[in-house]
Amino acid sequence: MGVSENNAHYGHRLRVYRKIGDVVYDEVYYLTENGQPVTKKREREIRAMVKARDKELLEYQKACQTEYEQANPVRFHGDGRIVGLTRQQQKNQGHMIDIFKLRFKLPDGSIYWGSVSIDYHGFDDAFSYALNRIADASGINKRTKIYRQMKNARDAYLNI
């Protein structure tokens, strides 16, 4: 969120708020002392201090996010589906086709696009092909825990 400013009945204040991982950093800096506004010079000092603290937390947040993305190349939705793999029905030349649509971010920052036809391959083979494409593009070994978790997400796509 960054820095917000609030002038409430109990004092003018600046708030630095960032959530990094599971930790919430919520820091308040008052621009009043004993119910009176601080001097302009002191206010500039406090604002500079708040800006520096927010910048420090932002850099830490970016570093943690980069570390998390490298450790977890594949993420999951709350219902168990894989982020970047969706099951869709599309109209093609007048009839409906069922496909797995792939769209996910690679470690180098580029976007991978693709699709696998469920009608052509059958559900189990199409799901397996989609997982293999994700694993190959992301550099995931098929003997790792994350790949097993991806295989366990199969049931989440059955009734869509």
pLDDT tens-digit map of 60-101: 999 988 887 777 778 888 888 999 999 999 888 888 999 999
Instruction: Specify the pTM.
Output: 0.61
Closest listed residue to residue 147, CA positions, set 69, 67, 65, 76: 76
pLDDT tens-digit map of 2-43: 888 888 777 789 999 999 988 999 999 999 888 888 999 999
> What are the boundaries of each domain within the chain?
2-71, 85-158
In contact, 32 and 51? CB cutoff 8 Å: no
CA distance 138 to 111: 11
